[in-house]
Structure 1
Amino acid sequence: MPTALITGASRGLGAEIARQLSATHDLLLGGRPSPELDKLATELDGASTFAVDLTDHDGVAAATEAIGELDVLVHNAGIASSLEAVADTPADEWREILEVNVVAAAELTRLLLPALRAAGGHVVFINSGSGRRVNARWTPYAASKFALRALADGLRAEEPDLRVTSIYPGRIDTDMQRDIVALEGGEYDPRRFLTVNSVARAVVHAVTTPAEAHPEEIVLRPTGRR
C-alpha cells in the first residue's frame, strides 16, 4: 500500500485523517511522543509512529533518514495564537507561531522531498480561513497561515511532478476550538463548527482524486446544519 505521513496525528483532526486513510495507506503518525499517539498506532493496523517534535530540526532530520519513498504528506500540526491585538503581541509569540506553523512544515517538506519525488507524491497542507482573510486579534495566526499558503503555492510551482493541495477549513469542533472560544469569552456550540469527519473527508477526497487531476485548493465553510 502507499504510505502517508500525517503530522499532528495524536488527536482531533489529525487522528481522524489517519483513521480515514488507514484502509488505503500504511501510516506514519506524526506527533510528540505521547500515550495518545501510541494508542492510535495500536488501533490502526499497519500504522507506525513518527514521534518527534517538529521544531527539533535535528530530530526531524534523523527521523526522516529511513524514509525512501513517501506517497502522501499531510501537514496538520499547528498552534493557535493567544488572540491578542498586534499592539499586545510580543516578538516571542510571533516567533513561536511562525516556527511551528510555517518553518517546521517547510523543513519537514524539504527533508522529505527526495522521498516524495521518488513516489510522485502528494503534499496536503491543512490551512485555515485565516489563510485567506485576517480578523482582529488573529493577526499572528493569520500571518502564519498566509505564509503556509505561500509555501504550498511555491512548492507547487517548483515541483511539477508532485501534487500540492491547500485545504482551507472554517473553524472545526475540536478541543483546541473549545480553548479558543473560552479565550473569546463565548459559549461553546459545536453546531457552529465543522466536524473533524468532514474535514478529513476533504483530505481523503484530495488524495484519492485520479492522478490526471490536480486538486490545488479546497475551501470548506460550516453551514450550521448537522
Structure 2
Amino acid sequence: MTTSAPDHLPTGAARPAVLITGANRGIGRAVADELAADHHLILGGRDETALTELAAQFPSAVPFAADLTDREATAAALGRLDLADGLTGLVHSAGILVNGTVAESDPAEWTQSFEINVVAIMELTQLLLPALRVARGTVVMINSGSGYNAVPSRGAYSASKFALRGLADSLRLEEREHGVRVSSIHPGRVATDMQRELRSFEGGEYQEENYMKPATVAATVGLALRLPADASIDSLSVRPR
C-alpha cells in the first residue's frame, strides 16, 4: 500500500501525526516506511541516535526516545512533542518474546512479559488519549496469532498477547464515544529477528520465504489508519499464504 508522496503534501505538523513504537526494526520499521508518504512520523524506541538517523531518511519525522516501562520518563519525552493538533495514529509495535513452558519458566519472565507487552502499552495509550481524542485518532495494537490461540512452550508470551487483546477490546468500547478507533492486528509468522530467535528455540531452520514480509503486516496497519471515518477494523488476522 506504500505510495509516493504527492508533490503538494506539506511536511511537519500539517501532516497527520502517527507515533510508532519499536520503529527502528522489524514490523515497526516497515510501518514507518508504509506511512512515510502521507504522515508525520514520531519514531519510538530506546536508541536516540539510531532513531535520529532513521528520522533523517523520511520526508517528515522526529525521534521519540524513551523506555516505555518508565512512566515518568515517557511522559517527559511526550511533553517535548508538539501534539497541539492531536494524534491521528498510535501504532504499538514494540514487544518481547519469552519462550519456555509454564512448568519451567521463571515468574520474573512473566512479569517482564506483561510489563512490556501489556502494561507499557496501556500506559503510553493512557498518556496519549487526550491527543488521540482531539484528532479522533486510531490506536493499532500489533498482537499475534498467539493472542487467539495459545502456543506450547510460550506460555508467558501467549498469556500477554491474550491480555493485550483484552486491553484492545476494553479500550475500543470505552473510547467509542470519544471517536477513537482501536484496531487489533494479529499477524502469523513474520520474517523478523524475533522469528529467527523463535526458530532457534524450536530447533528448526529459519526459511524466510515461508513467512510474511514485515511490509505485508505494515500494509494492514496502513489500512486500519487510512480507513474512512465511518468504519473501523476492530480485529484482523493476517496469516502467511
TM-score (norm 1): 0.96
**Correspondence for 1:90:** 106
Matched, 1:8 2:22: yes
Matched, 1:110 2:126: yes
Task: Name the CA distance, whole Å, in 1 between partners of 2:129 and 2:48.
Answer: 27
Tell me by how many angstroms 1:175 deviates: 1.2
Matched, 1:124 2:140: yes
CA contact under 8 A between 1:94 and 1:140: conserved in structure 2? yes
- Unaligned runs of 5+ residues in structure 1 are none
CA contact under 8 A between 2:187 and 2:238: conserved in structure 1? yes
Task: Name the CA distance, whole Å, in 2 between partners of 1:103 and 1:139.
Answer: 17
Matched, 1:195 2:213: yes
Deviations 1:157-183 (A, max 9, x none): 001111110000001101121111111
Give the alignment's Cα RMSD to 1 decimal: 1.0
Task: Name the CA distance, whole Å, in 2 between partners of 1:90 and 1:138.
Answer: 12
Task: Name the CA distance, whole Å, in 1 between partners of 2:215 and 2:201.
Answer: 25
Deviations 1:168-207 (A, max 9, x none): 0001101121111111111111122111011000001111
Tell me by how many angstroms 1:34 deviates: 4.5
- Unaligned runs of 5+ residues in structure 2 are 1-14
CA contact under 8 A between 1:11 and 1:36: conserved in structure 2? no
Task: Name the CA distance, whole Å, in 2 between partners of 1:206 and 1:117.
Answer: 17
- Decide whether aligned partners of structure 1 residues 118 and 47 sit closer, same or farther in structure 2, where only a CA change above 3 A counts: same
- Equivalent residue letter for 2:149: R
1:78 to 89, 95, 98: 95
**Correspondence for 1:144:** 160
Task: Name the CA distance, whole Å, in 2 between partners of 1:38 and 1:48.
Answer: 7
- Equivalent residue letter for 1:101: N
Task: Name the CA distance, whole Å, in 2 between partners of 1:36 and 1:80.
Answer: 22
Match of 2:56, SS?
A: helix
Tell me by how many angstroms 1:10 deviates: 0.8
Tell me by how many angstroms 1:90 deviates: 1.1
Tell me by how many angstroms 1:106 deviates: 0.1
Which deviates further from its counterpart, 62-71 or 14-23? 62-71
- Determine what percentage of the aligned residue pairs are the same residue: 49
Task: Name the CA distance, whole Å, in 1 between partners of 2:97 and 2:50.
Answer: 21
CA contact under 8 A between 1:2 and 1:71: conserved in structure 2? yes
**Correspondence for 1:153:** 169
Alignment of 1:157-196 (within 5 A): 157-160=173-176, 161-196=179-214
Tell me by how many angstroms 1:38 deviates: 2.2
Task: Name the CA distance, whole Å, in 1 between partners of 2:48 and 2:188.
Answer: 28
Task: Name the CA distance, whole Å, in 1 between partners of 2:101 and 2:158.
Answer: 12
- Equivalent residue letter for 1:208: R
